[in-house]
Amino acid sequence: MQIEHWDASRDGELTEAGMRRKLEDRGYTVSKYVYPPGTYFPEHDHGVDKIDGVLSGRFRMGMQGHSIVLEAGDLLVVPKHVFHSAEVVGEEPVVSLDAIRFA
């Protein structure tokens, strides 16, 4: 799993605008989602490269036999056609930036 952690010394304060800008600068189209506690996405894939970025909450991601809990400031690269799952962990909603790149 390719994970990147927000680095305040390099990236500045973690904000929605800051994370959105970082992803858009890499050529991604970004959408914001809020997932309530109990949200679960079974294994699925996408026909595009994407990055899941967490602004708040805890998001368990499973991919290729591995599992990790993403927290505020974490970014996970999900290559196209790689099966993965996702689940909100705990009682706090997950605020996520979903970044996709066509081509």
pTM score: 0.92
Number of neighbouring beta carbons within 10 Å of residue 5: 11
User: For the chain, what are the domain ranges?
Assistant: 2-101
**Spatial contact of 80 and 46, defined as CB atoms under 8 Å apart:** yes
**What topology is assigned to 2-101 in CATH?**
Jelly Rolls (2.60.120)
The predicted pLDDT at position 25 comes to: 95
In angstroms, the CA 101 to CA 71 distance is 22
Query: How big, in percent rounded to 5, are the helix, strand and coil portions of the chain?
Result: 15, 50, 35
Residue 29, amino acid: T
The predicted pLDDT at position 1 comes to: 87
The predicted pLDDT at position 11 comes to: 92
Which pLDDT tens digit goes with each residue over 7-53? Answer: 999 999 999 999 999 999 999 999 999 999 999 999 999 999 999 99
In angstroms, the CA 66 to CA 58 distance is 16
**Spatial contact of 81 and 46, defined as CB atoms under 8 Å apart:** yes
Mean pLDDT score of the chain: 95
